[in-house]
Structure 1
């Protein structure tokens, strides 16, 4: 559950109509599902993580490049989503107790995530399983609540407008694809956990369906509320869309914890593995360092109204680097290695791939 899709949807106001946004999200998430299946083949077959997989195409020395390129957006998203989660908890505190201090919640929330990162992500799997069902239900409620509350404005600003199927449409498609493009690189970190009997089609279904529903609801809710009210901040979007106080509080709490699970899986583990491999650090040290670096991304600047365009530009920029790296990994594994890897060489830092790729 990437909360950044709210902001992306908000940034499309005045560019696409509701149908075009729906199609753009669907195409983007489906393409990501297929890409995850293909690049996750090596991890699924051999049980190797991303950092080992990259050695096949880039060598031990060269693998640092894709690792660092993958790490930068992860750390930025870590900071951004932590600020959103802290904002959700702050709103809950303000609603229930009248206490509001976003900085207290942000620092505390960040320290909590650093502590959980040190313990690893398997221990909070149960929280994801429970939270995902509730969050989807809450998003469905919000979707129809927004339509009932802002129906006239949505009809005037987002339905009865022409929009475009041209370059801006495909640019939006790339945005919704790009927000998950970091996962395209390190998908082996996840696919290596799958049972061996999970086939390609089922993998595509797993990946696409885990991304598409939440992205559709969040992206379109962001578009509709911003189109009706001009509001961009995801937490303010939630508070304006949900009229039921109890449901708002429970939803915000689960939104906060959804950021924890998303951050640990997507934004802590990959850069932590990269720091371990490059600087020979222990996992706990790497996880703490990633959490501290997230403070330096100034996430409070990314949630401002004027920042939606900047966040979209950031996604396009890092996607431009991640796409070619993804292509190199695919070509190396399927066309050069013929889906056959030599694990002994991949784990030998003094072997033939110490500085570059080895011949077939």
Structure 2
């Protein structure tokens, strides 16, 4: 029986609705799940070592945290993230559904489009920005290798040089091609990129350590001390969790293909606490060694890469950073909007078409202009990011506190008024009532200058408020059934 015939049979016999159930949104078959612990680890091995994360972590050194303060911040953050991501990952493994479908439990079969669209909008913007950052590294490499291209990098068309357009479009096309082959191709690319990333960053740190005569500066000239230092450690840890506020929402997009809970736990242990502390060590070596050499605090590993005197090593390091950035984009900024778009237009889009639409939007927004506008990044993307905490709070409270992890998977795909997740015309008003005020408070804390001192904690405050509100006002009279979706499952991979 073909996948189309199997889907047709399920729609007619299983009571699912064609506007809610598609080949790509269907729960994964348990026997078809291929993600082991190594695949989960490679997800974090790539994402943790992104250029944006290095810029953030090195910024902690510039703000006055010493080496031990930075390590403490990342140790605390890694414990929090391990717990949050493991809870989120278990949801994906049990149900086998992607995030837009997962959200139907708490928000309803129609209301779930709210969290899916918010998550997808943030990802599309960052997809464009990350592609632009990778293209900048490629442009710098090409100019270094072929000085005659410098003239092509001096003009401007819609805010981008001719060389910039060429490198951006080349990387844009490459990512579209990878995504067009589905999640298994993304899994294979991660498996290739992860060791490349780790080896390159480790080699770069060793090279800098040798250049600095085997020692590093442990802090800037006037490091933070006392209460101020501890507040910065807590802020740094909180902001690191905020960076992953997107992933803790849609981690189920990946763990729906996990072989077992054990593979999620093992992959998370190596990929989060162990890998993040390894990342922190590289950060302190790079920043401390550079500060010892010339008293200058770097802003990104690309600052060091550009100083490599050997052209071959420069090319290898630059290509590794580009490979890494593409991996981050595929994981954090491509998969989420693809599923969100399929959920919005189930009859018109599949995984490949949704990937092209998502990439197209990421291109037409001219992301380099977004990146170069602090107002847009801070207020638009910062405001959207602040919404992720309250969404996470509602979804986690609904699944773990209210339902006790019991899920009626078939009812996630039906618009029958008697369905468990139909609520009121497809929306759960209690989830919205818990989300709205919590989101307003989180956004205000994140953006209003008067709350600058505690802005880094806005994600946590929004998540806790939303979870508490939802736990209080949620309807507890419904008898939640635990029904798996094996009869609906279509091997989409």
Q: How high is the TM-score relative to the length of structure 2? A: 0.64
Q: For residues 124 and 50 of structure 1, do their structure 2 counterparts lie closer, same or farther at Cα, with a shift above 3 Å needed?
A: closer
CA shift, 1:155, in A, is 2.2
Gaps of 5+ in 1: none
Shift of the 65–210 alpha-carbon distance from structure 1 to 2, 3 Å rule, reads: farther
Matched, 1:183 2:247: yes
The answer to whether the 8 Å contact 2:190/2:327 transfers is: yes
Do the aligned partners of residues 303 and 25 (structure 1) sit closer, same or farther apart at CA in structure 2, a change above 3 Å counting?
Answer: farther
Evaluate the alpha carbon distance shift between residue 315 and residue 210 of structure 1 in structure 2; reply closer, same or farther with a 3 A threshold.
farther
CA offsets, 1:200-255, max 9 Å, x none?
64354154158525742565467548864354355334223x44432221121122
Asked if 1:292 is matched to 2:340, the reply is: no
Preserved contact between residue 146 and residue 224 of structure 1 (Cα < 8 Å): no
| Offset at residue 198 of structure 1 (A) | 1.8
Compare 21-30 and 42-51 and name the one that shifted more.
21-30
User: In the alignment, is the contact (CA less than 8 A) between 1:39 and 1:185 conserved in 2?
Assistant: yes
Q: Does 1:341 align with 2:403?
A: no
Task: From the superposition, tell whether residues 205 and 326 of structure 1 become closer, same or farther in structure 2 (CA, over 3 Å).
Answer: same
Q: Bigger relative contact order, structure 1 or 2, given CA contacts below 8 A and separation 6+?
A: 1
**For the structure 1 residues 225 and 317, does the alpha-carbon distance in structure 2 shift closer, same or farther, using more than 3 Å as the test?**
farther
Post-superposition shift, 1:157? 4.7
Whose helix proportion is higher, 1 or 2? 1
CA pair 156-136 structure 1, distance change in 2 beyond 3 A: closer
> Counterparts of 1:19 and 1:144 in 2: how far apart (Å)?
19
**Residues 1:125 and 2:187 are matched in the alignment:** yes
The 1:20/1:76 distance shift into structure 2, 3 A limit, reads farther
Q: Deviations over 1:123-161 (max 9, x none)?
A: 253443233223212212222333454689962753872
What are the equivalent positions in structure 2 for 1:74-93 lying under 5 Å apart?
A: 74-93=123-142
Structure 1 position 87, deviation (Å): 2.0
1:142 aligns with: 204
d(CA) in 2 for partners of 1:337, 1:234:
45
Separation in 2 of the partners of 1:29 and 1:298? 34
Q: Does 1:51 align with 2:125?
A: no
Could you tell which deviates more after superposition, 56-65 or 14-23?
14-23
Matched residues, number:
357
Residue 229 (structure 2) aligns with: 165
Higher Cα Rg, which structure: 2
Q: Mapping of 1:227-246 within 5 angstroms?
A: 228-232=295-299, 234-240=301-307, 242-246=308-312
RMSD value over aligned CA atoms? 3.2
- Contact 1:49–1:192 (CA<8 Å) still a contact in 2? yes
Inter-CA distance 310–158: structure 2 relative to 1 (3 Å threshold): farther
Paired position in structure 2 for 1:97: 146
C-alpha separation in 2, matches of 1:31 and 1:20: 17
Shift of 1:51: 1.3
Distance in 2, matches of 1:230 and 1:269, equals: 35
Residues 54 and 329 of structure 1 are in contact (CA less than 8 Å); yes or no, is this contact kept in structure 2?
yes
8 A Cα contact 1:139 1:217, kept in partner: no
The answer on 1:11 being equivalent to 2:59 is yes
